[in-house]
A and B are shown apart, each in its own frame.
Chain A
Amino acid sequence: MALRRIGLYTALVLLTAVFTVPLVWMVLTSLKSYPDAQRIPSTWLPDPIETYGYEQLLQAGSQNPVLRWFANSMLAAVAQAALVLTTASMAAYALARMRFRGRGLIFGLIVATLFVPPATQIIPNFLIVDTLGWLDTLAVIVVPGAASAFGVFFLRQFFLSLPRELEEAATLDGADTWQIFTRIVLPLSKPALATLAVLAFLTNWNDFLWPIFVLFSGDQLTLPAGLGLLQGAYQTDYPVVMAGAVLASVPAIVLFVLAQRHIIAGVSRSGLKG
Chain B
Amino acid sequence: MAPTRARVRRRGAATPYLFLTPYLLLFLVFALLPVVLGVWLSLHQWDFQLPNKPFVGVDNYRDLFDSNSVVYSFWWESLGATGIFTLLSVPLLVVLPLGLAVLLNRAFPGRTFFRAVFFAPYVLGVAVIGLLWRFLLDANLGLVNRLLGLVGLPDDTAWVTDLPWAWISLVGVTVWWTAGFNAVIYLAGLQDIPGELYEAAKVDGATAWQRFRHVTLPGLRPVLLFVVTTTILASANLFGQSYLITQGAPGTSTRSVVWYIVEQGIAQNDAGRAAAMSITLTLMLAVVSVANFRIFRYRED
Interface residues of A (CB under 8 A from B): 5, 8, 11-12, 15-16, 18-23, 25-26, 29, 37-38, 40-42, 83, 86-88, 90-91, 93-95, 98-100, 103, 106, 109-110, 113, 115-128, 143-149, 152, 177, 181, 202, 205-209, 213, 223-225, 227-228, 230-231, 236, 238, 241-242, 244-245, 248-249, 252-253, 255-256, 260, 263-264, 267-272, 274
Contact assessment for A128 and B223 in the assembled complex, using a CB-CB cutoff below 8 Å: no
- B32: A residues at CB distance < 8 A: 109, 113
**In the bound complex, what is the Cα–Cα distance between A152 and B23 (angstroms)?**
9
Q: Shortest 3 CB-CB distances between A and B: which pairs?
A: A206-B125, A271-B185, A268-B188
**In the bound complex, what is the Cα–Cα distance between A223 and B33 (angstroms)?**
29
Contact assessment for B265 and A19 in the assembled complex, using a CB-CB cutoff below 8 Å: no
Is B266 part of the binding interface, using a Cβ–Cβ cutoff of 8 Å? yes
Within the complex, the shortest CB–CB distance from A60 to chain B, in Å, comes to 23
Closest chain A residue to B142, Cβ basis = A42
Within the complex, the shortest CB–CB distance from A256 to chain B, in Å, comes to 5
Contact assessment for A206 and B24 in the assembled complex, using a CB-CB cutoff below 8 Å: no
**In the bound complex, what is the Cα–Cα distance between A68 and B141 (angstroms)?**
30
Interface residues of B in 1-52 (CB under 8 A from A): 12-13, 15-17, 19-20, 22-24, 26-27, 29-35, 37-38, 41
Segment of B72-80, B157-165, B273-281 in the binding face: B273-281
Contact assessment for B131 and A227 in the assembled complex, using a CB-CB cutoff below 8 Å: yes
User: Contact check: which of B27, B34, B281 meets A149 at CB < 8 Å?
Assistant: B27
Contact assessment for A209 and B35 in the assembled complex, using a CB-CB cutoff below 8 Å: no
**In the bound complex, what is the Cα–Cα distance between A126 and B240 (angstroms)?**
18
Contact assessment for A147 and B26 in the assembled complex, using a CB-CB cutoff below 8 Å: yes
**In the bound complex, what is the Cα–Cα distance between A244 and B261 (angstroms)?**
29
Q: Can you report 27 residue pairs joining A to B where beta carbons are below 8 Å apart?
A: A15-B114, A15-B118, A16-B114, A22-B121, A23-B120, A26-B135, A40-B141, A86-B22, A87-B26, A91-B24, A94-B20, A100-B17, A113-B32, A116-B35, A119-B237, A120-B38, A120-B279, A122-B265, A126-B266, A128-B29, A128-B34, A147-B30, A228-B130, A228-B244, A249-B124, A263-B123, A271-B226
**In the bound complex, what is the Cα–Cα distance between A122 and B277 (angstroms)?**
12
**In the bound complex, what is the Cα–Cα distance between A3 and B76 (angstroms)?**
53
Contact assessment for B16 and A100 in the assembled complex, using a CB-CB cutoff below 8 Å: yes
- Give the interface centre of B114, B115, B121, B125 by most chain A CB atoms within 10 Å: B125
Contact assessment for B34 and A41 in the assembled complex, using a CB-CB cutoff below 8 Å: no
Contact assessment for A208 and B37 in the assembled complex, using a CB-CB cutoff below 8 Å: no
**In the bound complex, what is the Cα–Cα distance between A230 and B128 (angstroms)?**
11
Contact assessment for A274 and B226 in the assembled complex, using a CB-CB cutoff below 8 Å: yes
**In the bound complex, what is the Cα–Cα distance between A150 and B291 (angstroms)?**
24
**In the bound complex, what is the Cα–Cα distance between A121 and B258 (angstroms)?**
11
Contact assessment for A118 and B17 in the assembled complex, using a CB-CB cutoff below 8 Å: no
- Give the interface centre of B115, B143, B271 by most chain A CB atoms within 10 Å: B143
User: Contact check: which of B24, B124, B192, B275 meets A123 at CB < 8 Å?
Assistant: B275
- A5: B residues at CB distance < 8 A: 108
Closest chain B residue to A152, Cβ basis = B23
Contact assessment for A253 and B133 in the assembled complex, using a CB-CB cutoff below 8 Å: no
Is B285 part of the binding interface, using a Cβ–Cβ cutoff of 8 Å? yes
Is B282 part of the binding interface, using a Cβ–Cβ cutoff of 8 Å? yes
Within the complex, the shortest CB–CB distance from B136 to chain A, in Å, comes to 6
Interface of B is mostly: helix
Contact assessment for A255 and B123 in the assembled complex, using a CB-CB cutoff below 8 Å: yes
Is B227 part of the binding interface, using a Cβ–Cβ cutoff of 8 Å? yes
**In the bound complex, what is the Cα–Cα distance between A91 and B19 (angstroms)?**
6
Interface residues of B in 115-162 (CB under 8 A from A): 115-121, 123-128, 130-136, 138, 140-141, 143, 146, 149
Contact assessment for A124 and B37 in the assembled complex, using a CB-CB cutoff below 8 Å: yes
Segment of B176-184, B195-203, B210-218 in the binding face: B176-184
With A19-B121, A207-B125 already in contact, the answer to whether A98 and B38 are too (CB < 8 A) is: no
Is B84 part of the binding interface, using a Cβ–Cβ cutoff of 8 Å? no
- B180: A residues at CB distance < 8 A: 19
Within the complex, the shortest CB–CB distance from B256 to chain A, in Å, comes to 9
Contact assessment for A119 and B128 in the assembled complex, using a CB-CB cutoff below 8 Å: no
Within the complex, the shortest CB–CB distance from A208 to chain B, in Å, comes to 5
**In the bound complex, what is the Cα–Cα distance between A29 and B19 (angstroms)?**
51
Closest chain B residue to A95, Cβ basis = B20
Contact assessment for B262 and A119 in the assembled complex, using a CB-CB cutoff below 8 Å: yes
Within the complex, the shortest CB–CB distance from B41 to chain A, in Å, comes to 6
Closest chain A residue to B234, Cβ basis = A117
Contact assessment for A252 and B123 in the assembled complex, using a CB-CB cutoff below 8 Å: yes
Contact assessment for A123 and B29 in the assembled complex, using a CB-CB cutoff below 8 Å: no
**In the bound complex, what is the Cα–Cα distance between A116 and B133 (angstroms)?**
30
- B120: A residues at CB distance < 8 A: 19-20, 23, 253, 256
With A93-B19, A120-B282, A122-B262 already in contact, the answer to whether A231 and B35 are too (CB < 8 A) is: no
- A42: B residues at CB distance < 8 A: 141, 143, 146
With A123-B266, A128-B33 already in contact, the answer to whether A38 and B185 are too (CB < 8 A) is: no
**In the bound complex, what is the Cα–Cα distance between A142 and B283 (angstroms)?**
29
Contact assessment for B239 and A119 in the assembled complex, using a CB-CB cutoff below 8 Å: yes
- B20: A residues at CB distance < 8 A: 90-91, 94-95, 106
- B100: A residues at CB distance < 8 A: 15
**In the bound complex, what is the Cα–Cα distance between A127 and B272 (angstroms)?**
11
